[in-house]
Amino acid sequence: MALIDSFGRIHDNLRISVTDRCNIRCFYCMPDEGVKFQPKGEILSFEEIERFAQVAAGLGVRKIRLTGGEPLLRRDLPVLIEKLAAIPGIADLALTTNAVLLAAQARPLYDAGLRRLNIHLDTLDRARFRQITRRDDFDAVMAGIDAALAAGFKLKINAVAVKDLIEPDVVPLARFGRERGIEIRYIEFMPLDSQGLWLGGKVLRMDDMLAMLTQEFGPLEPRPEADPRAPATEFRFADGVGRVGFVASVSKPFCLNCNRLRLTADGKIRYCLFAVEETDVKDLLRAGAPDEAIAARIAETVRRKWIGHEINSTQFVPPPRPMYSIGG
């Protein structure tokens, strides 16, 4: 049985949040102080996550990405990686991290079977890093990138594109990526912050960033072989050295190609980052329910999936949970 929604979209991509906690405080995601995290007892155990992933794999899920909060805060994460990598049918396992703790964890994660990392870094400027994250961990992140490259990981860098802030970073990040063999992904600022700071006018849009890159590096070529269901629109530099991607959720929504499903750290299934409803599955996982019951709940959630978010419409209602609590 495949996970097909009422618009014919096949869901084979699962994002699992392993914690809602974080060690930094990016302003577009978390407030600086007073964040209320889920009590530990509400967070799914590795065994519960593994069980959910096994059932999802039986429904056609082929890709899993771990996220958070900051997933490297979860103790013994390589143990979970090993469990997920061993699930039949899971062809691709990846992780998104702010890399603050990566220097020490890169090798154990690689040895556990992880091969792909998306590292979140918006700027190569130490002062702007501190301004964005309200923490002084720039050197730790750079050490994390070095350690990940040395361990053999395939890396991408996620940069959140906020207008009137990130413009000076667009070209330097692309240059850094070209030099080090890392694709930079510019992610348009989305209305998922916990403080309601988002405004359409604060989004640095894909076309504007493309123009900056073109001016510096010459025309970029769309990557014809890119997966049409992937969220990023990808380009390569005309000289053949490196590539960049844009997650243009605001200026060019890609909902019609969406193949993603989410599991929050506290055991809710979400059919969209922006969904206002979610379905509990922790009750089934903790009640010893059979696989069929868990599978039915996943399938039913996918069937209810909406056509897409309405960020650009006056109808848009931000989701009740901010990014760190959903799992970005």
Using CB under 6 A as the binding rule, whether residue 323 contacts ligand SAM is answered as yes
Which residue in 144, 177, 231, 328 binds ligand SAM (CB under 6 A)? 328
Of 303, 255, 267, nearest in space to 59 by CA: 303
Nearer to ligand SAM, 22 or 59 (CB): 22
Q: Which stretch binds ligand SF4 (CB under 6 A): 68-76, 175-183, 272-280, 307-315?
A: 68-76
We find the least distance from the C-beta atom of residue 71 to ligand SF4, in angstroms, to be 9
**Residue 30 interacts with, from ligand SAM, ligand SF4, none (CB under 5-8 Å by kind):** ligand SF4
Q: Which positions ≥6 away from 290 have C-beta within 8 Å?
A: none
Are 238 and 218 in contact by the 8 Å Cβ rule? The answer is yes
CA distances from 25 to 33, 179, 186, 243 (A): 9, 28, 19, 29
Which residue in 13, 19, 54, 98 binds ligand SAM (CB under 6 A)? 98
d(CA 68, CA 115): 18
Which residue in 29, 182, 258, 272 binds ligand SAM (CB under 6 A)? 29
Which residue in 64, 174, 190, 209 binds ligand SAM (CB under 6 A)? 190
Element (H, E) at 55: helix 46-58
Which residue in 53, 117, 192, 272 binds ligand SAM (CB under 6 A)? 192
E strands, 68-198, where? 92-97, 116-120, 154-161, 183-188
Using CB under 6 A as the binding rule, whether residue 29 contacts ligand SF4 is answered as yes
**Residue 187 interacts with, from ligand SF4, ligand SAM, none (CB under 5-8 Å by kind):** ligand SAM
**Tokens 């850094």 sit at which residue?**
176
What's at 216, amino acid-wise? E
Nearer to ligand SF4, 242 or 327 (CB): 327
Please count the residues of the chain.
328
We find the least distance from the C-beta atom of residue 244 to ligand SAM, in angstroms, to be 15
Structure tokens belonging to residue 99? 């890399």
What's at 166, amino acid-wise? I
Using CB under 6 A as the binding rule, whether residue 68 contacts ligand SF4 is answered as yes
Are 266 and 20 in contact by the 8 Å Cβ rule? The answer is yes
Interacting residue ranges for ligand SAM, rule: CB under 6 A: 22, 28-29, 67-68, 70, 96-98, 120, 158, 160, 187, 189-190, 192-193, 323-324, 328
